[in-house]
Amino acid sequence: MNALETYQSDAVERPRIRRRLFWALVASLFLHAGVVYWFRQTQLAQFNAPTERLVPLRVFNLKPITISDSALEGEEQQAKPKSAGQTPARKPALKPLDLPDERPGAEVTEGRMTPSAPTPAEVIKPVASETPSGASENVEAITRAQESAAKVMEQDLTSLKDSLLKDQPPGASQSRIRLPEGESAAQSDAAGMAAASGALDKLLGRGLHAGDAPVTMPGGALFEFASADLRPASAEQLRKLGMLIKQSPDVTFTIEGYTDSFGDAAYNQQLSQQRADAVRSWLVQNMDVDPGHIQATGYGATRFLVAPQPVDMRSQASIDREKLLEQPNRRVEIRFKFHTAQ
């Protein structure tokens, strides 16, 4: 390459280089201006001016002190040389000065001011004794009152328990007292059911007539205690009753349910109605009896065959005696109503 070509090449590149340098300088100026503006607008957390004092400000309270002339004279006389036989003058006693406490009101901990613990105040002894003289008497009185309240509460709970056992709300069959079935009760129920079976056989043989006595079935033989579910063993007597109803189309049969005196009136009324309905439903479903010839009515704890006696609900023996005594009251009676005169 000759010198002329080299010279022309440099001449062409120079303006281009100048323009690039100019724009680079302009960009650098804008960049530096932006950095300066950002630093002026942004405050760094580590370089903020402290708003709290790191060292607490100490305040001193100065009290004026007055020195009497007599005290100064005594010091001058003491400074003079003592002569023989001369008694030195007695230096007056100076009162101690009360200087203020210079301890700071705050402590510096890790750059923060923490208030110091206050000076404990002088404990003032109470004039009166902390324990009253009649404390022991009060404690004894409170103890007696608590014992009396406990006795009253126990009596109330006992009476409440007795009342709950005696009077149960309607539908609370599960909460009633479940009395044990004794052998004598089972024998009596069996005898009553045998008598009812014999009466049904007699009526089936000769037919119903006006004035015939109602047929009584013991409730213990038909149902479980405090239940309206029929026992399977009662099916034979119920079949005989269904046959009697079928052969007596001109008679309306009324099934009446009764209970004993245990429980409240509302519960007994509901239980007796449920038992009468259970007998009627069994006859309709199993014997195909006309529902129009059967009526079911519950009378609850009424029309007792045996008068109830007072019972001690806390004594199981007393409950068993009354249960056995009132067994005839737990029954189902079948009455007859003729449509035409016989």
For the chain, which residues make up each domain, given as ranges? 182-338
Question: Which pLDDT tens digit goes with each residue over 159-202?
Answer: 665 665 555 444 444 334 344 445 567 777 888 888 888 999 99
Phi, psi of 65 (to 5 degrees): -120, 130
pLDDT of residue 71: 65
Q: Which two tokens stand for residue 315?
A: 């004594």
Q: How far apart (Å, rounded) are the C-alpha atoms in residues 193 and 182?
A: 17
Lowest model confidence (mean pLDDT) among 70-74, 162-166, 252-256, 297-301 = 162-166
Percent of the chain with pLDDT over 70: 61
Closest by CA to 176, choosing from 308, 265, 267, 311, is 267
**With contact defined as beta carbons under 8 Å apart, do 77 and 91 qualify?**
no
Given pLDDT bands bounded at 50, 70 and 90, which one contains residue 6?
low
User: Is 50's pLDDT higher than 70?
Assistant: no
E-assigned strand segments in the chain: 106-109, 112-115, 215-218, 251-258, 294-300, 331-338
Lowest model confidence (mean pLDDT) among 105-109, 308-312, 322-326 = 105-109
pLDDT of residue 108: 43
166 burial (CB, 10 Å; 0-12 / 13-18 / 19+) is middle
What's the whole-number mean pLDDT along residues 326-333? 89
Reduced 3-state DSSP string for 242-291: HHHHHCCCCEEEEEEEECCCCCCHHHHHHHHHHHHHHHHHHHHHHHCCCH
Closest by CA to 218, choosing from 191, 198, 248, 254, is 191
pLDDT of residue 151: 73
User: Is 121's pLDDT higher than 50?
Assistant: no
**Superfamily for 182-338?**
OmpA-like domain (3.30.1330.60)
CB neighbour burial string for 290-318, b if at least 16 within 10 angstroms, e if fewer: eeebbebebbbbeeeeeeeeebebeeeee
Lowest model confidence (mean pLDDT) among 75-84, 140-149, 308-317 = 75-84
pLDDT of residue 111: 43
pLDDT of residue 180: 45
Whether this model's pTM surpasses 0.85: no
Q: How far apart (Å, rounded) are the C-alpha atoms in residues 279 and 228?
A: 9
Of 176-185, 199-208, 226-235, 277-286, the range with the highest mean pLDDT is 277-286
Say which residue, 292 or 1, is predicted with more confidence: 292
215 burial (CB, 10 Å; 0-12 / 13-18 / 19+) is buried
Residues found in the chain = 342
Taking the CA atoms of 236, 240, 241 and 245 in sequence, report the sign of the dihedral they define: positive
Strand partners, 108: 113
pLDDT of residue 342: 45
CA 275 to chain centre: 40
CA 212 to chain centre: 62
